A and B are shown apart, each in its own frame.
Chain A
Amino acid sequence: MSGPTPPPGASALPGQQTGGADVRPVGRRRRYSVLTRRDRVTMALMVGIPTVLFISFIWLPTIASIFLSFTNWRGISALTANNFIGLKNYETLFTTYPFFWPAVWHNVLWLVTFVFIATPIGIFIAVLLDREMRGTRIYQSAFFIPVVLSLAIVGFIWEQMYTSQGFINSVLGHTSSNTAIDFLGNPTINIWAVLVAAGWRHVGYVMVLYLAGLKSVDPTLREAASIDGANARQTFFRVVFPVMKPINIVIIVITVIESLRAFDIAYIINRGKNGLELLSILITNNSISEASLIGFGSAIAVVLLVISLVPIVIFLTRTMRGDST
């Protein structure tokens, strides 16, 4: 785990060339010797190439998505001025497109379930496991194994539980077509069925992160609390939890981002319809499909982008602020 950030005292001075002579550090203020030309080329390459790749493959496409969202382009013939329709895509999206608001709602449900149910369960298990006892590694592994599975596999595994001949219906005795509970097909409950599967995985993820954080909590704090007579719950909520604030933020951010990215499970179950609409699948179903409504799909992508920027910006400002102080 990283230690305290060293002060940014030592820095090379760009723009100075001395043709490669090394300067021996003088006095207590340490400075890097001036970089050789070769070094600067190396540095430029080391940073430059990834940056160029990044800009070309992530940021330029992002801007292109925003740009395309104002068109009705289908990607077949060339993009011309005629394709520009201004905000019409957004208008359609927010008013007449019947699948947008259900998708938003499902993403919100995903977020709320993750934040208020799955994450607390993960935290709870982490707290339980954060003590000296035998078998803690085994327990951790049990909860963490779902995390190493791909979401597509998670979808398949839970389908075995949910189908008419699956585990749950068999146990309840409801295996005939009339009596089976349609976990995957009933539009009211299938989002919950998927959330259980996704939450099953998310709990392990949160647990591991939290456990690591708990281990870094100063034990003297806990001792002080127990000397003061606090019981376990009070110790956690009044002492440990506040101290874990950076971890809490990270976990919240990760949770939010995971819920906005949700794609695989719903896609593999039924391509994201009939109660499993999600913003990410709407994008692909509209744009990367036979329909090829690229402009319209890009509008949905922009909506997703704007929503995602909120947790991303929060994460960045927190960590970068932590970085520079």
Chain B
Amino acid sequence: MAEPTRVDAVSRRTVLKGIAGAAGLVSIPAIIAACSSTTSSSAPSAAASTGASTPPASTAPGASTAVGTVHVGSNHSDPGEKGAMEAINAAFTKDTGIAVVLNTVDHGTFQDQITNYLGGTPDTGYTWFSGFRLKFFADQGFNIPIDDVWAKVKGNFTDGFAQSVVGNDGKVYGIPVDYYPWAVFYRKDVFADKKYTVPATWEEFVALCTKMQADGLTPIAFGDKDGWPAMGTFDILNLRLNGYTFHTDLLAGKAKWTDPKVTKVFEQWAKMIPFQAKDYAGLTWQQAADTLVQKKSGMYLLGLFVSSQFAATKKPEDIAALDFFPFPSLGTEFDAEKALDAPIDTWQIAAKSPNLATETDTAKAYLEYWAKGATQELMFKGQPGLIPTANDANTSSYSDLQKKAVEVVSAAKRITQFLDRDTRSDFAGSNGMQSFLLKFLADPTQDLTKYQASIQAFWDQLPPLV
């Protein structure tokens, strides 16, 4: 077995020499520095779906000779939105000379890792939401207040939007940039074809569902694999049946889940379930929306972002067919509130950004730029489901659908941000409210007292919020 040592070991030696010893980690940084770069995510060469104009690629960090740089983190991971981000960043750089370094993270992952992100090495500017989640992180000191920026731009926003970015201490922490209502979507052509009329009351709604079922359609499309879509149904039923105040109290922990008012919600929901898609638990919302596109379902309670699935078909007859109506009234005093979920997205500045010292000003300029209608319209082009918040946004290009969305939200006396944005994240997460709602949907006839008690018990065992 003993073989004479082969001098061929030279090649291995050269390799080992490069790595030998602690100081020898020279070769590796060189490779990594050459390959890794935090340049903006490269523009997809074939931007799929929504006809976003493919812009010139965002500037590389090396070009930050002008006035400075700003690192921004975004959850706009869909191709259309990503293209829009790049257009916006390019326009921003052109206008101000500030280079933008964009970090795009998948939408879901961005949320999941937000605590790690904000507490770790966040980008200076980042996308986030409004509601409880904004207030929570502001309270933890993860954001810097931007009252100075707000003072400059507040004229461009309604009161409702102004309220949505204020923290618990009264300071402003974000710029509201887009919103989308949750409503019941349907295809105009299918309704015309089958002579359906838009229901205004619950009874009409149920009657319509029955008719649709008889016609072989799935009356209510539904895809709850991701867990959160079901919250939209809970929200709207709770708002209509029990009112805005109870809803916000419940989500803040001031009211209890064992309250009989909550039972009413679940009982009402149970009446909807026979009309819902049966395979909802294995479908994402996109797949459920596809059933609406393909005329296999009649209606879909979802946010305006459902329009991206229609835009993806690139067929004008599909895109034009999409319409919605607000969730029907349930015959209670709260119908008059016309309350609905209209989550607002924001841009904020992270207090723990490693570049905060040098980038505070550039980040504030970036946020100010986003407060302009013109900027928001660029995102709107990439994702027509996200309606600009700025007053000076040019609404003439809005489709009928979008104009209607603006009307409905303006008419609403009460707006909520969606269950998982209005309450604690440890309550609303994957192994939290998402699972509880799935459990209900799997067996709507179960003992609701026990079920509600389990939700309350879950809330009670949550540790204090720091």
Spell out A's residues near B (CB within 8 Å).
49, 72, 74-77, 85, 92, 96-99, 162-164, 176-178, 180, 182-187, 190, 270-274, 277, 282, 285-286, 288-293, 295-296
Q: Does B461 contact A (CB under 8 A)?
A: yes
A-B contact count (CB 8 A): 130
* Contact between A288 and B112, CB atoms less than 8 A apart: yes
- A285 to B142 Cα, complex, angstroms: 21
Q: Does B448 contact A (CB under 8 A)?
A: no
- A176 to B213 Cα, complex, angstroms: 13
* Contact between A77 and B425, CB atoms less than 8 A apart: no
Tier of interface size on chain B: 35 or more
The smallest beta-carbon distance between B2 and chain A, in angstroms, is 14
Contacts of A92 in B (CB 8 A): 461
* Contact between A289 and B429, CB atoms less than 8 A apart: yes
Contacts of A187 in B (CB 8 A): 281, 438, 442
Contacts of A49 in B (CB 8 A): 22
Contacts of A274 in B (CB 8 A): 227, 281, 435, 438-439, 442
Q: Does B366 contact A (CB under 8 A)?
A: no
With contacts A74-B463, A76-B466, A271-B227 taken as known, whether A282 is within 8 angstroms of B431 at the C-beta atoms is: yes
* Contact between B113 and A180, CB atoms less than 8 A apart: no
Contacts of B461 in A (CB 8 A): 92, 96-97
Contacts of A282 in B (CB 8 A): 431
A-binding segment of B114-122, B378-386, B390-398: B114-122
| Residue in contact with B457 in the complex, picked from A96, A183, A286, CB distance below 8 Å | A96
Contacts of B430 in A (CB 8 A): 271-273, 285, 289
Contacts of A296 in B (CB 8 A): 463
The closest CB in chain A to the CB of B114 belongs to A290
The closest CB in chain B to the CB of A103 belongs to B431
- A286 to B297 Cα, complex, angstroms: 36
* Contact between B225 and A72, CB atoms less than 8 A apart: no
* Contact between B466 and A291, CB atoms less than 8 A apart: no
- Could you tell me which residues of chain B, from 416 to 432, have a CB within 8 Å of some CB in chain A? 424-426, 429-432
Q: Does B231 contact A (CB under 8 A)?
A: no
Q: Name 19 interchain pairs, CB-CB below 8 A, sorted by A.
A: A76-B140, A77-B466, A85-B463, A163-B283, A164-B287, A176-B218, A177-B279, A177-B297, A180-B278, A182-B281, A186-B281, A270-B226, A273-B227, A273-B430, A274-B438, A285-B429, A286-B426, A289-B112, A291-B115
* Contact between B425 and A290, CB atoms less than 8 A apart: yes
With contacts A274-B438, A288-B113, A289-B425 taken as known, whether A185 is within 8 angstroms of B119 at the C-beta atoms is: no
The smallest beta-carbon distance between B37 and chain A, in angstroms, is 26
The smallest beta-carbon distance between A159 and chain B, in angstroms, is 9
* Contact between B227 and A182, CB atoms less than 8 A apart: no
Q: Does B282 contact A (CB under 8 A)?
A: yes
With contacts A74-B463, A285-B429, A288-B113 taken as known, whether A177 is within 8 angstroms of B278 at the C-beta atoms is: yes
